[in-house]
């Protein structure tokens, strides 16, 4: 069940009075011992799962309101009916209560709260500070490495484009420290004028440091100063008839101009700020966040928080802003399209977290208001696209229900696949899809522990056993939406039979299953779809359902391959090249010196691999096959 459908159920299906009375009795029994001061309360169901996390200036008064039946909405009455336990944490101040509430919501994801989904960390650009010749790299995670951080950027793509342009403009290295220390001659980056080759002394330490300083200045908003420096350098070179230097400097200026054409905003008084705009339609909400740092636009990202349809925009905005900055530092200024509830309290909490003043503003006129309106337009357009995609997705799910004779259109589809090389480093992968597309936060990987190497049937049995043994333990009544409405297996009748055996042994019967067998010569478009009890479904070559099922299977395969490669690269800090027959220390070094990294080796074609000293056609073929035919 999707979050939105679950919310619809909560709003429209009122609990029986007896159920509400039981939950209210649990709450009333604890009222006398609840603190009258600030704190955070958690309502839990019979399994101990959090239903709702709230904060209050007076916990006793707030919790007491939940037993006043006439004043409660249908959604709140149902929440009370499911409440079996109440836990409270007393705090010194309401601000502390708000910070704790936001932390617990992010950690526990209670289904009656507004929930921020797809809450991934943002990438930064890091100018490393632990080497005589620093490099600019994409960085994601805790900011505990030495150096200067610039960002956040909205996406890895935005970071990649910026890094590419910066490399052209400032000629800084992008190789790892290990590769840097082993080089004896300049690499390809030097030949194409993307690096000054500090690894082999083609630039002085002082000269390189000056380029690093210019890159830092550019990323901190001093772009005009950097451009003036480069323009002066180009002019001096031209006057000295050093046309080669002048041309190189001209190319660097063009690279900077390319970045600025995408990033410059030039709004007076706007240095570091986020713009948060909210749009609503058909009971759904889209929140667009734009990032502005040092006068530059670092991109934007759309979010679709899960919430009750009855909530106002002020409550949704407050919940979103609070949760959004729970795991990341807020900027000095947050411009919003709708003023959040308890704005002053939220500002105080964010300021306490950031250890400096944070302002939340709703501009009504001027350039800042125009920025907010631009973000609002993006939010409306993103929401319209999502609603259209959701409608198309629902039609496909309805079609699956009809084609496979399911009780209803599936709301949660689980797809399974395995990946290994000759049985080694075997993993199982599960992806999840539903009315809102791929649910990547529900993806799971399984390290194969018991199945014999190369036994695909045993691997699938192990994965399904672990998946559904846990489901039976955590949700035996199948009421929490964690059980699939359809299981897709990449394989034929044999795989389907193995899966059926697992489900029967576990007592997890009643889960619809379909096996997707590849067509002749593994030809996409000729797949066969097998059902339990020997049934088979045929779909036309141009049937949209066939493309949809292919997309599901391909996503499972992609996830399995990526997870498998990551696992292979981990052991003993070794190189993935160590797993390729015929690649010893000498050839490994030659490959790394030539390409610079394992990633570039993986991307290389056969002809490129054969150009490396000591790599014959046969060895090149083994290397190429290793990176392109896993699984």
- 319: CB partners within 8 A, 6+ apart: 105, 113, 114, 116, 305, 307
Identical fold between 3-108 and 273-384? no
Name the superfamily (CATH) of residues 413-567: UvrC, RNAse H endonuclease domain (3.30.420.340)
- 477: CB partners within 8 A, 6+ apart: none
pLDDT at 327 over 80: no
The percent of residues in the chain predicted with pLDDT above 90, rounded, is: 30
Give the C-alpha distances (Å, rounded to integers) separating 226 from 165, 216, 230, 518. Answer: 14, 10, 6, 57
Q: What is the chain's mean pLDDT, rounded?
A: 84
**Fold annotation for 273-384:** Nucleotidyltransferase; domain 5 (3.30.420)
* Least reliable range by pLDDT among 118-127, 230-239, 298-307, 401-410: 118-127
pLDDT at 295 over 80: no
* Mean pLDDT of the region 556-583: 69
pLDDT in the model for residue 10: 43
Under the banding of pLDDT at 50, 70 and 90, the label for residue 206 is very high
Under the banding of pLDDT at 50, 70 and 90, the label for residue 302 is very high
Q: Is 186 exposed, middle or buried, given 0-12, 13-18 or 19+ CB atoms closer than 10 A?
A: middle
Gap between the Cα atoms of 222 and 256, Å rounded? 12
- 374: CB partners within 8 A, 6+ apart: 290
Each residue's pLDDT tens digit, 86-121: 999 999 999 999 999 998 998 888 989 998 876 667
Pairing of strands 486-490, 513-517: parallel
pLDDT at 500 over 80: yes
Pairing of strands 136-139, 273-281: unpaired
Check residue 88 and report its DSSP letter: E
**Fold annotation for 570-628:** DNA polymerase; domain 1 (1.10.150)
Gap between the Cα atoms of 30 and 231, Å rounded? 73
* Least reliable range by pLDDT among 283-292, 335-344, 397-406, 590-599: 590-599
The percent of residues in the chain predicted with pLDDT above 70, rounded, is: 90
pLDDT in the model for residue 266: 52
pLDDT in the model for residue 494: 82
pLDDT in the model for residue 42: 95
pLDDT in the model for residue 589: 81
* Mean pLDDT of the region 495-521: 83
pLDDT in the model for residue 1: 42
Q: Which CATH number fits domain 3-108: 3.40.50.920, 3.40.50.620, 3.40.1440.10, 3.30.360.10?
A: 3.40.1440.10
* Mean pLDDT of the region 369-388: 90
Which stretch, 60-64, 216-220, 556-560, has highest mean pLDDT?
A: 60-64
- 566: CB partners within 8 A, 6+ apart: none
- 592: CB partners within 8 A, 6+ apart: 179, 182, 575, 577, 598, 601
Each residue's pLDDT tens digit, 384-419: 888 887 788 888 999 999 999 898 999 999 999 887
pLDDT in the model for residue 572: 39
Helices 493-506 + 456-474 axis angle, to 10: 30
Q: Domain ranges in the chain?
A: 3-108, 124-263, 273-384, 413-567, 570-628
pLDDT at 522 over 70: no
Check residue 112 and report its DSSP letter: T
* Least reliable range by pLDDT among 40-49, 51-60, 425-434: 425-434
pLDDT in the model for residue 47: 86
pLDDT at 183 over 70: yes
What are the φ/ψ torsions at residue 44 (nearest 5 degrees)? Answer: -120, 150
- 17: CB partners within 8 A, 6+ apart: none
Q: Which residue in 308, 327, 298, 267 sits closest to 103, CA to CA?
A: 327
Which stretch, 110-119, 224-233, 269-278, 369-378, has highest mean pLDDT?
A: 369-378
pLDDT at 242 over 60: yes
The Cβ of residue 455 has, within 10 Å, a number of other Cβ atoms equal to: 15
Q: Which residue in 137, 207, 210 sits closest to 176, CA to CA?
A: 137
Each residue's pLDDT tens digit, 574-629: 466 766 777 888 888 888 877 777 777 877 888 888 888 889 988 888 888 777 64
pLDDT in the model for residue 421: 59
What are the φ/ψ torsions at residue 412 (nearest 5 degrees)? Answer: -140, 115
Place of tokens 């009855």: 310
């Amino acid at each position: 069940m999707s979050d939105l459908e679950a919310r619809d159920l909560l709003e429209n299906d009122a609990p029986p009075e007896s159920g509400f009375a039981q939950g209210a009795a649990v709450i009333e029994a604890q009222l006398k011992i609840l603190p009258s001061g600030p704190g955070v309360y958690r309502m839990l169901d019979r399994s101990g799962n959090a239903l709702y996390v709230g904060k209050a200036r007076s916990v006793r008064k707030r919790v007491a309101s939940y037993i006043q039946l006439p004043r409660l909405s249908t959604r709140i009455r149902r929440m009370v009916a499911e409440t079996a336990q109440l836990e409270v944490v007393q705090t010194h101040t309401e601000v502390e209560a708000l910070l704790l509430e936001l932390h617990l919501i992010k950690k526990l994801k209670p289904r009656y709260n507004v929930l921020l989904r797809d809450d991934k960390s943002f990438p930064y650009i890091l100018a490393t500070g632990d080497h005589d010749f620093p490099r600019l790299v994409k960085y994601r995670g805790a900011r505990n490495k030495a150096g200067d951080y610039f960002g956040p950027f909205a996406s890895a793509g935005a970071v990649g484009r910026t890094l590419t342009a910066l490399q052209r403009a400032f000629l800084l290295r992008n190789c790892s420290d290990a590769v840097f220390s082993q080089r004896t001659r300049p690499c390809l980056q030097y030949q194409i004028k993307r690096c000054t080759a500090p690894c082999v002394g083609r630039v002085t330490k002082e000269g390189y440091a000056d380029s690093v300083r210019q890159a830092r200045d550019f990323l901190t908003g001093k772009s005009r100063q950097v451009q003036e420096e480069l323009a002066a350098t180009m002019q001096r070179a031209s006057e000295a008839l050093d046309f080669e230097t002048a041309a190189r400097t001209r190319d660097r200026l063009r690279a900077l101009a390319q970045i600025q054409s995408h990033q410059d905003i030039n709004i007076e008084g706007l240095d570091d700020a986020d713009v948060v705009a909210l749009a609503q339609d058909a009971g759904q909400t889209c929140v667009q966040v734009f990032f502005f740092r040092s006068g530059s636009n670092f991109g934007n990202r759309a979010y679709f928080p899960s919430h009750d349809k009855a909530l106002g925009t002020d409550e949704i905005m407050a919940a979103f802003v609070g949760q959004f900055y729970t795991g990341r530092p807020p900027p000095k200024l947050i411009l919003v399209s709708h003023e959040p509830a308890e704005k002053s309290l939220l500002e105080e909490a964010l300021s306490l977290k950031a250890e400096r003043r944070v302002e939340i503003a709703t501009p009504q006129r001027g350039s800042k208001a125009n920025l907010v309106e631009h973000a609002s337009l993006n939010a409306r357009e993103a929401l319209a696209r999502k609603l259209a995609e959701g409608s198309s997705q629902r039609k496909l799910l309805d079609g699956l229900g009809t084609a496979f004779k399911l009780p209803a259109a599936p709301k949660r589809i689980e797809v399974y696949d395995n990946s290994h090389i000759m049985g080694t480093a075997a993993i199982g992968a599960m992806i999840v899809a539903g009315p809102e597309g791929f649910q990547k936060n529900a993806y799971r990987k399984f390290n194969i522990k018991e199945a014999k190497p190369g036994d695909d049937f045993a691997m699938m049995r192990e994965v399904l056993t672990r998946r559904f043994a846990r489901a039976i333990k955590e949700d035996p009544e199948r009421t929490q939406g964690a059980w699939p409405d359809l299981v897709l297996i990449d394989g034929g009748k044999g795989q389907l039979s193995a899966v059926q055996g697992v489900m029967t042994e576990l007592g997890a019967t009643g889960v619809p299953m379909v096996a997707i067998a590849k067509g002749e010569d593994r030809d996409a478009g000729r797949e066969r779809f097998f059902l339990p009890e020997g049934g088979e479904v045929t779909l036309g070559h141009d049937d949209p359902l066939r493309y949809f099922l292919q997309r599901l299977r391909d996503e499972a395969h992609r996830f399995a391959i990526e997870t498998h490669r990551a696992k292979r690269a981990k052991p003993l800090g070794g190189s993935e090249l160590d797993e390729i027959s015929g690649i010893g220390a000498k050839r490994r070094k030659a490959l790394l010196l030539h390409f610079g990294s394992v990633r570039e080796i993986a991307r290389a074609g056969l002809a490129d691999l054969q150009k490396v000293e000591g790599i014959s056609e046969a060895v090149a073929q083994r290397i190429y096959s290793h990176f392109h035919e896993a699984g």
